[in-house]
Amino acid sequence: MNGTASGSWSLSLGRWQGCEVRLHIHFPLLALAVLLYGNVTDAYSPGTGLMASMVLLVSAAVHELVRLVAATRVGGRTHLVVLAPTGGLTQPQLPPDPPAHLVAALAGPAAYLSLIVAAACALAAAGDTEILGLLSLFAPQFIDSTSNLHHMLQLFVWINAWLLCVSLLPAPPLDGAELLRSLLWPLAGRTSATAATAHIALGASALAALLAIVLQQQFVGEWIPAWFPLSVLAIVLLYGGNRLSRQRRYDVGVDIEQLEAEEALWLVHSAEQEDEQVVLVEHIQQRQQDALDRKRREREDVEDAEVDAILSRLSATTFEQLSEEEQAILKRASRRYRQRRHDG
């Protein structure tokens, strides 16, 4: 485990297609809590608790796999996946393009919805007619069955219904935050879209807190007081909104001289086309930063391709015997790796 980086409090599960996969500590802790609750209350057997934990892990893995494929299809990349009970804790690196971010954001909820539909179809094929009762988040209507497969399919419907609802909350790293931001991006620019998403999350947090006070005498299901899930929702949205408000997607002080000549010509041509339009300063900064982002990603791709060859030579030499350029490439690659883990 790494105690300080983005993958901190997580255990490596290996690499897949060049992407490191890690399991966050929240997973085993939640599994233990599920087993403890079942043992104390006799609400379900230990086998059911373990089955629910496995369903949650599989669902989160499918969510991240679908999101990884979607990010790759739109020109993005992912170097690290940290599996948590709510999905993944890291965000893929995507092109500065609203449709690309929208597709990647929709992929996660679509994965949960697909699992719900697939499990529901399997239950319907088995003759189960009470599938809608499984969509009740706080009072699911499970049907007693001697078949472990039938019981697992019911858990797939209920757990993924929960995951779908949670994933749509506008709080990073949940999909809802990126989904809302990508919808607002074409209208207001990426920075303003991030700020608007933060304000929506904070406003929803205040509303949830108010409802928790107003409905404190009400119950959700048979024994869960309404104030508890509303308070949890308020806290999640509060922290999510605060995180969004602190994000700095762009360097306002970008120097135009940092742009390559072709990017500068493109900016001039675009400015001529919009000569008669009112252009927000933010949009100009966004174009400058997008151009820099593209150049940086191209340079990083070239350097990443050289890292393996440099590392293979280290087995027969020392770091000091490498050329200054090779040493600089390794140092930059190491910083990028640490930053990618820290960003999650």
38 with 156, same domain?
A: yes
In a domain? residue 216:
no
- What's the CA gap between 250 and 286, in Å, rounded? 7
In this predicted model, what pLDDT tens digit does every residue of 179-205 receive, in sequence order? Answer: 999 999 999 888 889 999 999 999 999
**Most confidently modeled of 4-8, 250-254, 273-277, 309-313?**
309-313
Condensed to tens digits (0 to 9), the pLDDT of residues 324-342 reads: 777 888 888 888 777 766 6
Which of 19-23, 45-49, 157-161 tops mean pLDDT?
157-161
Residue 252 has pLDDT above 50, yes or no: no
Q: For residue 183, give the nearest of 167, 170, 202 by alpha carbon.
A: 170
Q: Is residue 22 part of a domain?
A: yes
Of the residues 167, 199, 214, the one at which a domain ends: 167
Q: Give how many domains the chain has, as a whole number.
A: 2
pLDDT(90) > 70:
yes
Find out whether 243 and 172 touch, Cβ atoms under 8 Å: yes
In a domain, 15, yes or no: yes
Q: Give the residue from 167, 191, 213 where a domain finishes.
A: 167
Residue 92 carries which side chain, given as an amino acid letter?
Answer: P
Task: Specify whether 159 is located in the same domain as 296.
Answer: no
CB-based contacts of 226, cutoff 8 Å, min separation 6: 211, 212, 215, 216, 218, 219, 220
Q: Which span out of 140-144, 220-224, 249-253, 264-268 was modeled with the highest average pLDDT?
A: 140-144
Q: Is residue 1 part of a domain?
A: no
Domain's final residue, options 113, 140, 167: 167
Summarize pLDDT for 41-88 with one digit per residue, the tens.
888 889 999 999 999 999 999 999 999 999 999 998 888 899 999 988
- The length of the chain in residues reads 344
Does the residue 222 lie in any domain?
A: no
* Secondary structure of 110-177 in HEC code, one letter for each residue: HHHHHHHHHHHHHHHHCCCCCCHHHHCCCCCCCCCCCCHHHHHHHHHHHHHHHHHHHHCCCCCCCHHH
DSSP structure class, residue 43: S
Question: Is residue 89 one of the residues assigned to a domain?
Answer: yes
Mean pLDDT of the chain: 83
Is the pTM above the cut of 0.85? no
Claim to verify: residue 277 and residue 163 sit in the same structural domain: no
Q: What is the pLDDT of residue 249?
A: 44
What does DSSP say about strands 19-24 and 80-84: parallel, antiparallel, or unpaired?
parallel
Question: What ranges in the chain are assigned the alpha helix state H?
Answer: 26-41, 46-73, 98-125, 148-167, 175-188, 190-214, 227-245, 261-273, 281-314, 324-343
Q: Is residue 263 part of a domain?
A: no
Domain carrying residue 109: 10-167
Residues 16 and 147 in one domain: yes
Residues 292 and 152 in one domain: no
Within-domain flag for 335:
yes
